[in-house]
A and B are shown apart, each in its own frame.
Chain A
């Protein structure tokens, strides 16, 4: 332990400037972040987006915090560089476990401890009791360790100097961007992750990084460590590309039994308003098709969220074509008839060969079925109000200084709230001082949150802010200069929060006979 403290003390003296800068950035972040939820007069409709609300300085601080950590990690590891043959410490009585221990202690004291304090302070400032979120706090530290600290630590152990480390970090970012861009261009099929890959990614990443770090500290096996660190992401990427999507889709989303009633029915909507639309796709060899549908049959108390769709066509001229699985974004089906559309991309040559002629259109959807929880009705107060299992919400005032509420922004602890349906009643007229009900209520609703069931999400802050984007928030005025004006949420009107939890994943077929692609 004496050697650990001795090396730690040396590093603390050597890197005092980096430590001070890192702490100052974290302090600035802690000071500035609560502006997310304390600024109350921004005009919710236009500024609820947290990235805008947060402002440029906030965005810079959010970027600077991990950059300062990167600097701190890299500098402290490279102080006793593990790459090269000229380092002073190689022939001194350093014990590798103690050297590694000293580096870990350094990060615990100057990175983790301040971060825990920042998270606790932000929770307290946001109105949450910090001790109630200890599991989330630990999980967020685990995520940070697995996906930021450990990879940086491991890369630093196989890097000879700071500039190379910087080049590697830039290279990794560029590779990531390139992969995203290429996958966007070349992958038309929706991918589905390997079972349990989310759960495995944390321990696997940690194990690979720990192995590389240990190999370097214990034996300085540079090329083996580098091979591990390069091989792991390459292998992961390759596995993602060759994963048996069809088989996994069947595994994850079993078809409903023949005797069972389909959880949803679709009918083609064809009238003067609803038309099948065809437009250019990202890839010029393909076209994007949008088919208007009427969805119905969702059981009361449930919601269906389509994840992917696969389209098959059989044309009278013998043409047959089946698409790969394609992702469906933001569609959610509630009980009752609901207008919707299914969007997919198909080969332009196929489209050209069948346009105008009758085809049989098979649509195979994979859904996540969710059950509604107990709705929570909260009369809108004038100031902050808690919503159980959701967070704390703040009415957003119109930015003209009229004290009228034009939206609601909420904050939640450690993670975004679970998937929640929010309903409200808008008033076309400004609310009177004593009004408790809008005169002519207009239904507004929207979805917020996600289905992730982890206790925390990856991030620096412990508080997540969400603007509730409710439908019908603007009314048409019919005036030329000012065609739309905000609607208002009057104090006392109920705001209803209904949380949805997944119950099963299913696959369902729908066939539309005599379908025509437009000429």
Chain B
């Protein structure tokens, strides 16, 4: 498996405050990796470390097999970066921006550029400073996708955009997905659930997990045990049970390591008097809420938190 992004022990500190601690992530080529977490979790710091905008305090990252600290100049011919906070050359028109960017990239695809302009309905003659936030983001997308980068890194690309623009951008992005790796950050789970192939969760600078979406969906189950008589939770509950709660005849929790039939048999053995044991799959949003509320991750050790 080729790795588009690989980090080991990546840490960024500002004085005593750690913005990012001991981050280990592997993003395989061709993946659509979503890095999620609340505001201030360290997503932007992580991306800026990858882009060599910041320098790591310790650890290292490799991006397209290049040490991130050496990323410069022509390396960016293969990497596209769009951020919600990027300072664009506001005095340029959209056409001037595309004209200006074009000579920098040997692989700039003029036909694709025209296609993106049409697809994103870009007003070529308007200056960037006169565009809405959504339009500016579209212009940034067009100037990034047109050279067919091998890796596209997006920092909160959909933040604050109306649904229509967001869908247009996602559509434009997915059109490129077969030929590229996409790494994006978001604090809005709904944005990425529909198309991300991998997901990582950052909380206060620490990576709680990082894995394929399908594995994650399979692993998390909301379990409900219905009893014939009132029963307290066992004193020692597995670490993988999140947010356990009981009412008189019902025990409910989120199992963060659900293993199908094996887990069902374990639960049956644990609660022999159970009238019914049911499990339901969870949305990404529900999973993250469970993790965030429980304040702990799953049992996997930090060293193992890599994408399969």
Interface positions of A (Cβ within 8 A of B): 2-3, 6, 10, 14, 84-88, 90-96
Contact = CB atoms under 8 A, between A and B. Distances in A.
Interface in B37-93: 48, 51, 53-54, 72-77, 79, 81, 83, 85-89, 91
A87 B89 CA distance: 9
B86 A92 contact: no
A2 B104 CA distance: 9
Given A3-B104, A96-B72, 19 more contacts: A2-B103, A6-B100, A6-B104, A10-B100, A84-B87, A85-B48, A85-B54, A87-B87, A88-B86, A88-B89, A90-B53, A91-B51, A91-B76, A92-B101, A93-B75, A94-B73, A94-B104, A95-B72, A95-B74
B271 interface: no
Nearest to A86: B87
Contacts of B48: 85
Contacts of B91: 14
B74 A93 contact: yes
A88 B74 contact: no
A86 B85 contact: yes
Contacts of B77: 93
B266 to A, nearest CB: 49
A3 B104 CA distance: 7
Given A85-B48, A85-B53, A91 B103 contact: no
Given A91-B51, A91-B53, A93-B73, A6 B81 contact: no
Nearest to A7: B100
B79 A91 contact: yes
B53 A92 contact: no
Contacts of B103: 2-3, 6
Nearest to B153: A91
Interface of B: 48, 51, 53-54, 72-77, 79, 81, 83, 85-89, 91, 100-101, 103-105
Contacts of B89: 14, 88
Contacts of B100: 6, 10
Closest 6 CB pairs of A and B: A91-B81, A95-B73, A93-B76, A86-B87, A85-B53, A93-B104
Nearest to A15: B91
- Interface of B (DSSP majority class): mixed
Contacts of A3: 103-104
A93 B75 CA distance: 7
Nearest to A89: B89
Nearest to A80: B89
Nearest to B77: A93
**Residue from the set A86, A88, A94 with the largest chain B CB neighbour count within 10 Å:** A88
A12 to B, nearest CB: 13
Contacts of B73: 93-96
B88 A93 contact: no
A31 B75 CA distance: 50
Nearest to A97: B73
B83 A86 contact: yes
A93 B72 CA distance: 7
Nearest to A91: B81
B87 to A, nearest CB: 5
A14 B96 CA distance: 11
A87 B104 CA distance: 16
Contacts of A93: 73-77, 104-105
A406 B100 CA distance: 64
A454 B75 CA distance: 48
A153 B8 CA distance: 38
A38 to B, nearest CB: 43
Contacts of A86: 83, 85-87
A458 B124 CA distance: 48
Nearest to A90: B53
Contacts of A87: 86-87
**Residue from the set B73, B81, B83, B88 with the largest chain A CB neighbour count within 10 Å:** B73
Contact of B88 (A6, A88, A90): A88
Contacts of A6: 100, 103-104
Contacts of A2: 103
A92 B76 contact: yes
**Residue from the set A3, A10, A87, A90 with the largest chain B CB neighbour count within 10 Å:** A90
Nearest to A6: B103
A150 to B, nearest CB: 24
Contacts of A88: 86-89
B84 to A, nearest CB: 10
A74 to B, nearest CB: 16
A88 B51 CA distance: 12
17 contacts: A3-B103, A3-B104, A14-B89, A14-B91, A84-B87, A86-B83, A86-B85, A88-B87, A91-B51, A91-B76, A91-B81, A92-B104, A93-B74, A93-B77, A93-B105, A95-B73, A96-B72
B302 to A, nearest CB: 27
A95 B77 CA distance: 11
Contacts of B74: 93, 95
Contacts of B76: 91-94
A93 B108 CA distance: 12
Nearest to A88: B88
Contacts of A96: 72-73
Contacts of A92: 76, 101, 104
Contacts of B75: 93
A91 B91 CA distance: 19
Nearest to B54: A85
A10 B74 CA distance: 19
Contacts of A10: 100
A2 B88 CA distance: 22
A19 to B, nearest CB: 15
